[in-house]
Amino acid sequence: MSLMEGLLHQAPSSTVTLLGAGLFLLVLYLLSSGSSSEPQGKEPPGPRPLPLLGNLLQLDFKRLYHSLFEMSKKYGSVFTVHIGAKKVVVLAGYKAVKEALVNHAEEFGERGIPLIITDIQKGHGILFANGDSWKEMRRFALTNLRDFGMGKKASEEKIIEEARYLIEVFEEHKGKAFDTTQSMHYAISNIICSIVYGSRFEYTDPRFRRSVDRVNESVRLLGSFSIQLYNMFPWLGPFLKSKSDIIKHSDSNMMEIRDLVRELKETLNPQMCRGFIDSFLVRKQTLEESSNMKSDYHNENLVQTVGNLFSAGTDTTATTMRWGLMLMAKYPQIQDRVQEEMSRVIGSRQPLVEDRKNLPYTDAVIHEIQRVANIVPMAVPHVTSRDITFQGYFIKKGTEVFPLLTSVLQDESEWETPHAFNPAHFLNEKGQFVKRDAFMPFSAGRRVCLGESLARMELFLFFTSLLQHFRFSPPPGVKEEDLDLTPVVGFTLTPAPHQLCAVSRV
């Protein structure tokens, strides 16, 4: 008699019935799960996961992008890693990322949405949304942002005006060391505000300052280990202060956006839209009057879309600018060449976007700042929309995918000196600017950053305006080589806290 038979023989009949039912259900589950999850081809390789924990013990969550980059050297350009119980496919290197996001844009085009984002946005907005609502909101946002000057002359005028305000703030420090963080974020945020709301805010406006500061803190918390733990193990939520802080910051910002929307609605003139919100309200009103059908143009989509534009449109560009000024202070000889070229080509007049083509070295430096800054090293997660065989590996529909942008921007087969700050990456032997295919800081494909043209214009105009007026250097007593380029990891990679001197050149 087997052990199981002995236990059944000695057990009461009710226990036997329950045990039998349990065994039947277990066998049924194993059979059904085995048939449904049976791979249709070879799956991407990867380290063996532990139950529940997956590969957590093999990953450094303070620098997850670095751990995955190192893993790619062992497992190749397409591999599997288990983040807790979740299976994730990682794409490494320019060729794999480009092939997936561009050549197979549809299959890799869905957005992976972390649990904390679902808690906050509930599928609304643009950045973390899928389906028809996402398509409609993205299409509307792109059209209207262009209408309000994104990447055009109107945006150029707004940026130049804001650069003057920022220069005034820098001048107030009279060459003494200061932290550029807040003023830089306020300036960049005002560009989005002028397009979305139709007006800018004073840097001293307490409501504006609170909103920008809360976004900065939330971006930092979103990349923290504790929030990554919550995304993997939701039951930890009640014990994590970082989770409650993010929810609190989001609720406060959404409330302020609703207040601003209400104020704009009270003075709305459909014949003269001041910004993105006015256009949305007019479209919403038109659809409500003409149809009884449910529309994607509702208040939650408006509020979350504005929140997406406000946070995504501020943090990445402002952080890139901070990296740029720090790199100029660290490499003064490169700063000298930028300023010499600008003095020779445009003199003391205000730099304009059309000057870019005549400033190849300056343009190369800005591109190299973006490459080295590596702001969003893992991109924003994607999800496969259908089963696909990719580079010989079967990837199931609904699999989360990390396009590892750090492996593109530092691909040793694409960049001559991938780990050094080297503007020559974007110059030919004649000193002319050259585009590089592996320059992909805005991602690519269906989910490419919708504000790319605006961000490029902002970076060029703010960078040239500031370097025309100031020479940037470390604080007294700090050597250039002592400026630490090790990033602080959040949802984006930001410079470690530091101060710079902005000495007037005028």
Annotated binding site for heme: 449
H or E element, residue 66 = helix 64-75
CA dist list (Å): 225 to 243, 394, 501: 11, 30, 33
Query: Which DSSP letter does residue 102 get?
Result: I
Q: Are 444 and 132 within 8 A, CB to CB?
A: no
Phi-psi sector, 429: left (phi>0), alpha (psi -120 to 50), beta:
alpha
Distance CA 255, CA 123 (A): 18
Structure tokens at 333: 């000889």
Which candidate, 498, 437, 439, places its Cα nearest to that of 473? 498
Block residue for tokens 């329950």:
18
Binding-site annotation: residue ranges: 449
Q: What share of the chain is helix, strand, coil (3-state, %, to 5)?
A: 55, 10, 35
Cα–Cα distance for residue pair 336/323, rounded to 1 Å: 17
Cβ contact 385:131 at 8 Å: no
- Are 209 and 186 in contact by the 8 Å Cβ rule? The answer is yes
Partners of 108 in the β-ladder: none
| Helix (H), strand (E), coil (C) string for 242-270 | HHHHHHHHHHHHHHHHHHHHHHHHHCCCC
Q: Are strands 400-404 and 86-92 parallel, antiparallel or unpaired?
A: parallel
Block residue for tokens 């409650």 = 244
Cα 313 from Cα 293, distance rounded (Å): 32
Residue 127: which of 315, 406, 371 has the closest Cα? 315
Looking at the DSSP bridge assignments, the partners of residue 401 are 89, 382
Distances (CA, A) of 229 to 20, 99, 132, 197: 37, 31, 30, 36
Residues 432 and 461 sit within 8 Å (Cβ to Cβ): no
Q: Give phi and psi for 90, each to the nearest 5.
A: -105, 135
Calpha distance 312→65 (Å, rounded):
20
281 by DSSP, 3-state: which? helix
Handedness of CA 342, 345, 348, 352 (dihedral sign): negative
Spatial separation of the C-alpha atoms in residues 163 and 427, rounded to whole Å: 27
Backbone Cα Rg of the chain: 26
H or E element: which one contains 502?
Answer: strand 501-504
